[in-house]
């Protein structure tokens, strides 16, 4: 069964239409990638899914309509967003950032256990737990953003270019951890990437977006073989 | 020397009151980037409510607590009903709303209670406390209450999940929503707390200046000066600024310019800070990218 179903999703900034009726679905437990060039509408799609921008069209999460609902309520259903720009609370400490990720949860013992688990994935964050998050490096802040989302104990993670601005080595490490989280904790992921090669390594299936429309869909393997994708996005 | 010490200590007592109100201003400024010009009148209005409760026979401390609760609800209600609708309005429109609120609260109070001065009781005893002769019991008590409020606020913001959520909502509303914080309610809560702090300030200053609808005008000006000295976005700076301005006001009034010109001290401080160091002594300097 699809965990997330999107039908005819439209969105605009003021008068400028950005999404022109997007259709896609995400299988439960999968990692699904949204690929596309800069400005295609990937970030807007994620924002639309969690109610940050106004939309038309239908979005179902675990069978229930979530389009038009407030962001705070969608989060409570278990949708965690790692936003474009990382969304760090710069003046708060690393650990305060993480605790905020679990703000809606009442199971205090489980939250404490999750904090330990997140520190296990990212030992750097434990070292910097009392440090102001604004003083963390870009890579550390990206780990913090992923960790903050994990603290929700989410069913679905929306990841907006987690590789952005990171050194290749750090990216590899981060993507390995994402895979582990997906496999061990059964967290489904909607991964937005400009770096298509990277995304197709991790993802099970993918959609290609051009100017606010899905132009291609398939398994990661199929997209990797597709000539157009290879020329335009993989560069060989 | 005695006279000097006397003025410094008295300055600390009023300084605590400025510090409280300055803190209320900073709290709302941090969350909304607006200066609540009606903060003083809100404090004044709630102090009148306290007066009414005591007039009806309620003892001091139950009145004090009840007034805090009423002030909190009033703050929440004002945010929801008056401020929320102009959330996205231009700055000038918001300023007009604040001024209107100030004028309305002032004239409604005058209309209900008249503009004649009313004595307002102090909860502290008449005779000197612990044989201290430099400060009146009310001054000592006011400082004590101020510090208590400050410590309680510190503990709340530093150690409770709700306090953390309020800081997060003020700092980064977008990210706050993404972790499920109801940002609108956090703002309303901030207004409630600020109104509560203002009520304490009002009840502490009223025994000194007598209750009257205009009693907070001067206090707000000093609090504004304090907030600017400390840096309008720094709660600690605002508190320190409050004590500093209180002492400065008293010393200058007693030894330099006389009591009649005391209020101009506040204005000189405001203009001075804005000219020399707009971000205050402890505020962060904001660099705008062009
Ligand atoms: N806040 C905004 N206001 C106006 N236009 C925007 C805004 N954000 C994005 N856009 C426009 O919407 C289009 C899609 O942007 P975006 O979703 O960020 O693309 P992507 O994430 O795929 O790079 C772009 O043309 C961009 O200029
Ligand atoms: Mg983007």
For the purposes of burial, counting CB atoms within 10 Å of the CB of A124, is it exposed (0-12), middle (13-18) or buried (19 or more)?
A: middle
How far apart (Å, rounded) are the C-alpha atoms in residues A154 and B216?
50
Q: Check residue B263 and give its pLDDT.
A: 72
Quick check: is A10 in a domain?
yes
Burial class (CB in 10 A: 0-12, 13-18, 19+), B195: buried
Choose from B173, B180, B184, B284 for mutation: most chain A CBs within 10 A.
B180
Q: What is the pLDDT of residue B199?
A: 94
Asked whether residue A97 is domain-assigned, the answer is yes
Residues of B in contact with A71 (CB under 8 A): 177-178
Q: What is the mean pLDDT of residues B109-132?
A: 84
Q: Do A52 and B167 touch (CB under 8 A)?
A: no
Give CA–CA dist B162/B167, Å, rounded. 9
Instruction: Provide the domain limits for residue A94.
Output: 89-150
B171 has pLDDT over 70: yes
Hey, which residues 79-118 in chain B have their CB within 8 Å of chain A?
Answer: none
Angle at B194 between CA B193 and CA B198, to 5 degrees: 115
pLDDT at B265: 73
pLDDT at position B287 over 70 = no
Q: Is it the case that residue B91 has pLDDT exceeding 50?
A: yes
**Residue A3 backbone phi and psi in degrees, to 5:** -80, -35
Return the best residue to mutate from A42, A43, A82, A164 for the ligand 1 pocket (most ligand atoms within 8 A of CB): A43
pLDDT top residue among B216 and B6: B216
Nearest CA in chain A to B169: A89
Is A76's CB within 8 Å of B180's CB? yes
Ligand 1 atom 26, closest CA: A39
Alpha helices in A2-137 (DSSP H): 42-49, 71-76, 94-101, 108-121, 123-127
What pLDDT, on the 0 to 100 scale, is given for residue B89?
84
The average confidence (pLDDT) of chain B is: 86
Q: In this predicted model, what pLDDT tens digit does every residue of B238-257 receive, in sequence order?
A: 888 899 888 888 888 777 77
Same domain, A48 and A101: no
Closest CA to B218 of B243, B196, B246, B191: B246
Who wins on pLDDT, B127 or A177? A177
Q: In this complex, do B177 and A101 lie within 8 Å of one another by their Cβ atoms?
A: no
- Residue-averaged pLDDT of chain A: 92
Q: Where are the beta strands (DSSP E) in chain B?
A: none
Quick one: pLDDT band at residue A110, thresholds 50, 70, 90?
A: very high
Q: Is A85 in the pocket of ligand 1 (CB under 6 A)?
A: no
pLDDT digits (tens, 9 = 90+) for B27-50: 888 888 888 889 999 999 999 999
DSSP, collapsed to helix, strand or coil, labels residue A171 as helix
Q: Please give the pLDDT value at position B36.
A: 87
CATH code, A219:
3.40.50.300
Domain identity same for A161 and A144: no
A167 and A185 assigned to the same domain? yes
Q: How many domains would you assign to chain A? A: 2
Q: Pick A190 or A198 by higher pLDDT.
A: A190
Same domain, A73 and A163: yes
Q: Which two structure tokens, joined as six digits, stand for B73?
A: 């609800």
Does A16 sit in the ligand 1 pocket, CB within 6 Å?
Answer: yes
Residues 6+ apart with CB under 8 A from A222: none
Amino acid B290: pLDDT: 43
Residue B72 has pLDDT above 90, yes or no: yes
Tell me the two tokens of residue B262: 């005391």
Q: Which of A121, A150, A179 is the last residue of a domain?
A: A150
Of A218, A222, A161, A150, which Cα lies nearest the Cα of A186?
A: A150
Same domain flag for A214 and A160: yes
Q: Which of B161, B178, B180 sits opposite A87 (nearest CB)?
A: B178
One domain for residues A146 and A159:
no
Judgement on whether residues A12 and A64 belong to the same structural domain of the protein: yes
For the ranges A187-191, B30-34, B121-125, the lowest mean pLDDT is seen at B30-34
Higher pLDDT, B231 or A124: A124
Question: Ligand 1: does its nearest atom lie under 6 Å from the Cβ of A66?
Answer: no
Q: For residue B194, what is the DSSP state?
A: H
Nearest CA to ligand 1 atom 24: A39
**pLDDT at B6 > cutoff 90:** no
**Closest CA of chain B from A150, distance in Å:** 11
Q: Within a domain: residue A83?
A: no
**In percent, how much of chain B has pLDDT > 90?**
38
CA distance B181 to chain A (A): 6
Among the candidates A99, A119, A150, a domain finishes at A150
Q: What is the pLDDT of residues A35-91, one digit of tens each?
A: 998 899 999 999 999 999 999 999 999 999 999 999 999 999 999 999 999 999 999
Does B180 contact A at CB distance below 8 Å?
yes
- Map out the domains of chain B as residue ranges: 2-276
Residues A122 and A145 in one domain: yes
Residue B289: pLDDT over 60 = no
The answer to whether the CB of A159 falls within 8 A of the CB of A79 is no
Length of chain B: 290
Same domain, A193 and A223: yes
pLDDT, residue A117, reads: 94
Domain identity same for A52 and A113: no
Do A101 and B167 lie within an 8 Å CB cutoff?
A: no
**For the CA of A36, the nearest ligand:** 1
Residues A196 and A220 in one domain: yes
Residue A162 contacts residue A178 (beta carbons within 8 Å): yes
Of A100, A104, A152, Cβ closest to residue B168 = A100
Evaluate whether residue A111 is within a structural domain.
yes
The region that residue A235 occupies, defined by phi over 0 for left and psi between -120 and 50 for alpha, beta otherwise, is left
Confirm or reject: Cβ of A15 under 6 Å from ligand 1.
Answer: no
Query: In terms of domains, do A130 and A64 share one?
Result: no
Q: Of A114, A135, A150, which residue sits at a domain end?
A: A150
Residue A102 lies in a domain: yes
What is the nearest CA distance from B271 to chain A, expressed in angstroms? 29
pLDDT surpassing 90 at residue A234: no
pLDDT beyond 70 at A213: yes
Q: What does the pLDDT read at residue B283?
A: 65
pTM of the model: 0.87
User: Any CB–CB contact under 8 A between A164 and chain B?
Assistant: no
């Amino acid at each position: 069964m699809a965990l997330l179903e999107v039908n005819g999703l439209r969105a605009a900034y003021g008068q400028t239409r950005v999404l022109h009726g997007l259709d896609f679905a995400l299988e439960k437990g999968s990692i699904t990638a949204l690929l596309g060039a800069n400005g295609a509408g990937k970030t807007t799609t994620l924002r639309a899914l969690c109610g940050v921008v106004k939309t038309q069209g239908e979005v179902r999460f675990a069978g229930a309509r979530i389009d038009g609902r407030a962001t705070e309520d969608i989060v409570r259903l278990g949708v965690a967003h790692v936003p474009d720009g990382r969304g760090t609370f710069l003046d708060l400490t690393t650990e305060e950032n993480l605790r905020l990720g679990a703000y809606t949860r009442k199971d205090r013992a489980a939250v404490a256990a999750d904090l330990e688990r997140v520190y296990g994935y990212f030992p750097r964050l434990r070292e910097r737990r009392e440090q102001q998050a604004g003083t963390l490096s870009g890579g550390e802040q990206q780990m913090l953003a992923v960790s903050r989302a994990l603290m929700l104990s989410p069913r679905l993670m929306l990841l907006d270019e987690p590789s952005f601005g990171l050194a290749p080595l750090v990216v590899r490490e981060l993507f390995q951890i994402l895979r582990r989280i997906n496999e061990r904790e059964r967290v489904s992921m909607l991964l937005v990437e400009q770096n298509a090669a990277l995304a197709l390594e991790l993802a099970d299936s993918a959609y290609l977006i051009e100017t606010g429309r899905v132009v291609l869909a398939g398994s990661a393997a199929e997209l990797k073989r597709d000539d157009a994708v290879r020329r335009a996005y993989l560069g060989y | 020397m005695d006279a000097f010490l006397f003025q410094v200590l008295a300055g600390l007592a009023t300084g605590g009151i400025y510090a409280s109100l300055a803190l209320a201003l900073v709290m709302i400024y941090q969350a909304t980037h607006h200066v609540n010009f009606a903060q003083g009148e809100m404090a004044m209005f709630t102090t009148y409510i306290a007066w009414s409760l005591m007039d009806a026979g309620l003892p001091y401390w139950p009145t004090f607590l009840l007034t805090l609760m009423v002030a909190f609800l009033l703050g929440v209600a004002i945010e929801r009903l008056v401020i929320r609708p102009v959330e996205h309005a231009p700055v000038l429109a918001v300023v007009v709303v604040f001024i209107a609120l100030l004028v309305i609260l002032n004239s409604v109070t005058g209309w209900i209670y008249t503009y004649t001065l009313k004595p307002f009781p102090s909860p502290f005893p008449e005779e000197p406390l612990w044989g201290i002769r430099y400060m009146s019991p009310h001054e000592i008590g006011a400082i004590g209450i101020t510090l208590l409020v400050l410590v309680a606020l510190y503990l709340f913001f530093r150690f409770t999940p709700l306090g953390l959520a309020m800081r997060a909502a003020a700092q980064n509303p977008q990210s706050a929503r993404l972790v499920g914080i109801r940002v609108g309610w956090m703002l309303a809560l901030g207004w409630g707390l600020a109104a509560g702090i203002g009520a304490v300030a009002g009840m502490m200053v009223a025994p000194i200046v007598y209750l009257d609808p205009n009693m907070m005008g001067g206090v707000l000006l000093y609090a504004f000066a304090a907030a600017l000295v400390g840096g309008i976005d720094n709660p600690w700076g605002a508190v320190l600024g409050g004590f500093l301005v209180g002492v400065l006001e008293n010393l200058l009034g007693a030894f330099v310019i006389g009591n009649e010109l005391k209020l101009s001290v506040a204005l000189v401080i405001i203009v001075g800070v804005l000219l020399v160091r707009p971000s205050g002594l402890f505020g962060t300097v904001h660099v705008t990218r062009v």
